Chain A
Amino acid sequence: MRKEMSDVTKRIVTGLCKYVLLFCIIAYIYWVYSYSSTKDVPFEKTKEALLNSMNDESIQNMMDVSSRGLKRYYGFNAAEYDGVMMYIGNNGLSAEEILLIKVNDEKQMNELEAAIKQRMKTRIKDFENYAPDQAQLLREAELIIKGKYIFLAVSENADKYKRVFLKLI
C-alpha cells in the first residue's frame, strides 16, 4: 500500500514537473522572441530613419564616406554587403562617426565586429593626448549588433541614434 502511494506520488510529481517545465519553455521562448528577435528591415529604410534623426548641424559637421570609407578605414569592400552607410567628422580633430552596415552572413558580421573594436581601441589611443574629449566620445560609443545589422555611433547624440535604430529593428 505504502509502495503504491509512493508510485502514485512519483507519477503525479513527474507529470506536474513536466507541465511546469513546458510552461517555462513557452515563457522562455516568448521572452527570447521579444528580447532578441529582429525585423528584417530593408537597409534604405533604416538609413533614412537614422538620417532623419540627425539634425542639420550634425550632418553639416560630417561627411558621407559610404562609398569609400569602409575600404579606407576598415579594409572591407562595401560592395560585398547588403548596405553601407558611413559618416565621419569633417575635420581631423573629430572622432565622430556613424556607421550602419547590413551584412549578408554571420561571417561578415564577426569580421566587422572585430575590425570595429580594433579601430576603436586604436583611435582612443590616438585621441587620448591631444583631444581627450573625443577619446571620451569613443569610449562612450554605442556599438550594436542586431539581426543582420551592425551599428556604430560615436557622437554626443549616440544614445538618440541608438534608440532610433533599436526602435526600427
Chain B
Amino acid sequence: MVFSSFTFIFTFLPITLILYYISPRRVKNMILLISSLVFYAWGELIYIGLMVLSILFNYFCGKDIYLKMCQNENDSSGHLSVDGNQKKQKNMGVRISFVIAIIVNLLILGFFKYYGFLIDTINTVAKTKIEYRQLGLPVGISFYTFQAISYLIDVYRGEVTAQKNIINFALYIAMFPQLIAGPIVRYIDIEIQLKWREESLQKFGEGTRYFIVGLGKKVILANSMGKIFESVSQNFSSGIKMSIMMMWVGAIAYTLQIYFDFSGYSDMAVGLGKMFGFDLKKNFDYPYISKSVTEFWRRWHISLGTWFREYVYIPLGGNRVSAKKHIRNLLIVWMLTGLWHGAQWNFVIWGLYYGVLLIFEKYYLTKYLTRIPKILQHLYTMLMIVIGWVFFFSESAGSALKYLGMMVGIGSKGFLHSQDCFVIVSNWGLWLAGIICCTSIGSGILNRNGYEGNGKWFTDLAYMMLFVITISWLITDSFNPFLYFRF
C-alpha cells in the first residue's frame, strides 16, 4: 500500500484516524502500532515477521545495554543519570552487547540487500561462477534498520534511557508514516512524543496541508516527469540515438521526478505524523535552490545526512582531524551513502562522486564560488546535481558515461529535433510548475509560513482544489511508481 493509492487515502487512513481519535489516550499508541503493522503486511506479508523480530530483538538489546550500564553506575539509586556530556566507564560486557546488537542489525540489512551484489562482484573479479538464490528486498528495511541502530547508539552513549514500554518502542520503529520511506527519525527526537503528544485541530489541519501538497507533488509532478524520463530512458536502452537536447530533457525530467517523488512522500509522512500528533522533522528544504553541492546536501534527504554525520562521520573524527583523515572520513561516509541507496557499483560511484565534489568545494572551490554571481553558483550546482542523477538512474557506470557522452554530443544525433520541441513545448505547464515548486514560491502563494500557521483567505479552497485535481489525476493515470521504495 502506498500513500498515493485510493485504498490508503479513502479506506486505511480514515479508519485509522477514527479508531485513533475515539480511543482513550492509553491505547492510542497500540492502535497506531496495529495499523502500522497492517499497513506493512498489506504489501509485504512475508516480511512482517522479520520486522516484528527486529523490533523485539532491538528492544531487548537496548534494555540489555542500559541495564549493564546501570550496573556500572555509581548512583546509589541504581538509575543511570542521563547526561550526554559525561564520559562513562563502560565495561567489556556493555561494549560486547552493543557491538553484537549493531553487527546483527547490519548483517540482516547486509544479507537482504547486499549478498547478491557481493557474490556478483566476486564472480566478476575472481571469474568464478558462484550461484545463488535471489531474495526480494523487504520494503523499508534500510529505513527501519537505521532507526534501530540510531536507538541503540543513543542508549549506549547515555543520551537516552532504554524504552521500557515495548509498544512505544515498536511504534517508534514501525510507525507507518515514516516506516516505508523515511524520514529516518532519531529516537532522541521522538522519545517524549511517544509518551505524550498533543493532538489539536490546528496541527491536524497543518498535517492535512502537508499531505495534500505531498500527494500533489507525487501524483501530478513526479509521475508526469517520470513518464517523460521513461520514454527517453527506453529509447536510450534500446540503442535509439537521440539529440543532445533530448538527453538533457531526460536527465532534467529525472532530476525533477526524484525530487517531487521523494519530497512528496516525505511531506505526506510529515503530514500524517501531524495528524496523529507527532512532529517529524522535514526531510527536504528546497534543495534545488542551493548555490553549492555542500548546501545541496544540507537540504536533500536531511535525515539520512544527519544519521551519517552523527553515527559515522563524527565518530571517525569529522573535520577535527588532519586534512588527510578528514578527506578519508568524507570518502567513507559518501561511499556508504551511495551503498545505502543500492547494491550496485553505480550507486557507489554516485556516492564517491559527491564525496569528491564536497572535498573539492571544501578545500579549493568555495573561495572562488562565493565570488561569482549567484546565478552562476546555482547553474554550477544544478549541473553537478544533474550529472549525479545520471549515475543514479543508470544501470551501470558504463551506461552512465554513455548517457553523459550523449549529453555533450558524443554518439548523439544532432542538437535538436522537432519532436524534442514538441516534448518540451507540449509540457510547458509541467516544466513551469516543476520549477516553481522547487522553490518556496509555490507554498508561499498559499501560506505565509510554509504549510503551517494561518493561511490566506483563499488557502483552504486552494488546498481542496489541489486535492480534487490530484485525485482526478490519480483516477486517470495508471503510472504511479515510487522510486525510493527500493531502499
Q: Is the interface of B mostly helix, strand, loop or mixed?
A: helix
Shortest Cβ gap from A150 to chain B (Å): 14
16 inter-chain pairs at a CB distance below 8 angstroms, sorted by A residue, are A7-B71, A7-B78, A14-B63, A18-B64, A18-B97, A22-B104, A24-B53, A25-B54, A25-B108, A28-B53, A29-B50, A33-B135, A35-B46, A36-B46, A107-B481, A147-B134
Shortest Cβ gap from B149 to chain A (Å): 15
Report if B435 contacts A (CB, 8 A): no
Beyond known contacts A11-B68, A33-B133, A36-B46: 12 more, CB 8 A cutoff: A3-B78, A7-B78, A14-B67, A21-B53, A21-B56, A21-B60, A25-B54, A29-B108, A36-B136, A37-B133, A38-B133, A147-B134
Bound: A151/B135 CA distance, A: 18
Total contacting residues, chain B, CB less than 8 A: 30
List chain A residues, Cβ under 8 A from B71. Answer: 7, 11
Question: A9-45 toward B: CB 8 Å interface, digit per residue (1/0)?
Answer: 0110011011001101100110011011111100000
Bound: A11/B68 CA distance, A: 7
Q: Do A14 and B64 have beta carbons less than 8 Å apart?
A: yes
For chain B, residues 17 to 59, give those with C-beta under 8 angstroms from any C-beta of chain A.
46-47, 49-50, 53-54, 56-57
Bound: A80/B47 CA distance, A: 30
Report if B175 contacts A (CB, 8 A): no
List chain A residues, Cβ under 8 A from B57. Answer: 18, 21-22, 25
Which residues of A approach B to under 8 Å, CB–CB?
Answer: 3, 7, 10-11, 14-15, 17-18, 21-22, 24-25, 28-29, 32-33, 35-40, 79-80, 107, 147
Which residues of B approach A to under 8 Å, CB–CB?
Answer: 46-47, 49-50, 53-54, 56-57, 60-61, 63-64, 67-68, 70-71, 78, 97, 101, 104, 108, 111, 131, 133-136, 234, 238, 481
Shortest Cβ gap from B376 to chain A (Å): 39
Shortest Cβ gap from B164 to chain A (Å): 11
Shortest Cβ gap from B268 to chain A (Å): 21
Shortest Cβ gap from A135 to chain B (Å): 28
Total residue contacts A-B, CB cutoff 8 A = 66
List chain B residues, Cβ under 8 A from A14. Answer: 60, 63-64, 67
Bound: A109/B250 CA distance, A: 24
Bound: A38/B78 CA distance, A: 52
Name the contact of A32 in the complex, choosing from B47, B54, B60 (C-beta under 8 A).
B47
Bound: A37/B238 CA distance, A: 30
Name the contact of B64 in the complex, choosing from A11, A29, A32, A36 (C-beta under 8 A).
A11
List chain A residues, Cβ under 8 A from B46. Answer: 32, 35-36
Shortest Cβ gap from A169 to chain B (Å): 9
List chain B residues, Cβ under 8 A from A11. Answer: 64, 67-68, 71
Shortest Cβ gap from A52 to chain B (Å): 22
Task: Tell me the nearest residue of chain A to B137, going by C-beta.
Answer: A106
Q: Do A18 and B134 have beta carbons less than 8 Å apart?
A: no
List chain A residues, Cβ under 8 A from B70. Answer: 7
Shortest Cβ gap from A10 to chain B (Å): 6
Query: Top 3 closest A-B pairs, CB basis?
Result: A37-B133, A21-B57, A18-B60
Q: Do B67 and A39 have beta carbons less than 8 Å apart?
A: no
List chain B residues, Cβ under 8 A from A32. Answer: 46-47, 50, 135
Task: Tell me the nearest residue of chain B to A37, going by C-beta.
Answer: B133
Q: Do A39 and B135 have beta carbons less than 8 Å apart?
A: no
Task: Tell me the nearest residue of chain A to B230, going by C-beta.
Answer: A107
Bound: A21/B61 CA distance, A: 10
Name the contact of A10 in the complex, choosing from B56, B67, B97, B111 (C-beta under 8 A).
B67
Name the contact of A40 in the complex, choosing from B49, B56, B64, B134 (C-beta under 8 A).
B134
Name the contact of B133 in the complex, choosing from A15, A24, A39 (C-beta under 8 A).
A39
Q: Do B78 and A39 have beta carbons less than 8 Å apart?
A: no
List chain B residues, Cβ under 8 A from A147. Answer: 134
Q: Do A36 and B481 have beta carbons less than 8 Å apart?
A: no
Task: Tell me the nearest residue of chain A to B101, going by C-beta.
Answer: A18
Bound: A103/B417 CA distance, A: 32
List chain A residues, Cβ under 8 A from B97. Answer: 15, 18
Task: Tell me the nearest residue of chain A to B70, going by C-beta.
Answer: A7
